[in-house]
Homo-oligomer: A and B are copies of this chain.
Amino acid sequence: MEKKITIADIARMANVAKSTVSRYLNGGSVSEKTRRKIDTIVSDYNYQPNALAQNLKLKINHTVGVIVPRLDSTAQVEMLRGLDAANDEDTFLIVNTYQSVARELAAIEKLRNQHVSGLIILTANITDDIRDALKAFDVPVVIQGQDEGDFHRVLMNDRQAGDIVGQYAMSLTPKKVLLLTIPEQQDWSIGHERFTGVYHALADYDVTTIHTKFNIDEARNDALRVMSENTFDLVIGATDRMTIGALQAGIATHQSAKYIGFGKSDLSTTVTPHLTSFEYDFYETGKLMYNLLKNVRENNPSEKQRLVFDGQLVERESTQNFY
């Protein structure tokens, strides 16, 4: 088992100067003779440069920080997968912040200290504190889901999604509609943008809106409370999980309705009925974010980039019949 060996060790063994070894490693001019000497030593000892020292000296760093608020969200994990798929040379420093602003600020500091060469933020809710911390960071930042002019960003076209779902909802001519969402302070795109079109389209309908959480169980419980008192014939949830929670509540209260969700995951086609859902391809979004970051690093554009990602409505059983 080879010990870790440094450039100085190689230099000593080969009877040359450190600088020569470095030149050898970086393709500078070295004579054939010394090249061979160094060559054998390097491979004998399986020399690997110390990335820390390199980064310190070169001030470049093939490390990208990724801040992800939740690992239990299909969308987030899909984006991670996409990031990873598009990545060819960087390693990712991933920090999970559990949607806590304090943890997020700490994460930003940490990544700053690690001198990452870029930052990808999957957080949906950029608070003032976070914005300031990010701006103090002299490194390209790509965010997602929030239309912040200060940063490069990839946006889900939630406005359009809401319009499409709103129109579609109208076409179902519902009598009584239940909407499940989250407070807009918590996630502007999901809590506000995504439902704008829906509110608009259903302005003249009998609509009840409740706030819930991102997971199935809480959504079911919250839905249960209203569904045990009222009967709905159309339920729209801001995410698939919420919608599934409501669906379970609907089954438990023996009422029949149509269901529409947002998102893209295995869940929508394992649940019975299969869920009609407005789907975004988060995997592709992730790829896009990484490529955007890469592009920014290489070309250093003067303007902040703004990419918008469209989704599409996928009709499945849950809006064909009543469940």
> Taking beta carbons and an 8 Å cutoff, which residues of A are in contact with B?
1-4, 46, 48-53, 55-56, 61, 63, 71-72, 77, 80-81, 84, 91-96, 109-115, 135-136, 138, 216, 241, 244, 266-267, 269-272
Contact = CB atoms under 8 A, between A and B. Distances in A.
A113 B71 contact: no
Give the one of A2, A71, A92, A272 with max B CB within 10 A. A71
Nearest to A265: B266
Contacts of A48: 109, 112-113
B49 A52 contact: no
A6 B93 CA distance: 23
A49 B115 CA distance: 10
A115 B271 contact: no
A114 B96 contact: no
A110 B96 CA distance: 22
A52 B115 contact: yes
A51 B272 contact: no
A2 B135 CA distance: 10
Contact of A56 (B52, B80, B94, B244): B52
A48 B81 CA distance: 31
A93 B87 CA distance: 14
B93 A95 contact: no
Given A52-B114, A56-B56, A271-B270, A92 B94 contact: yes
Given A52-B56, A216-B270, A92 B93 contact: yes
A4 B56 contact: no
A83 to B, nearest CB: 9
Nearest to A94: B94
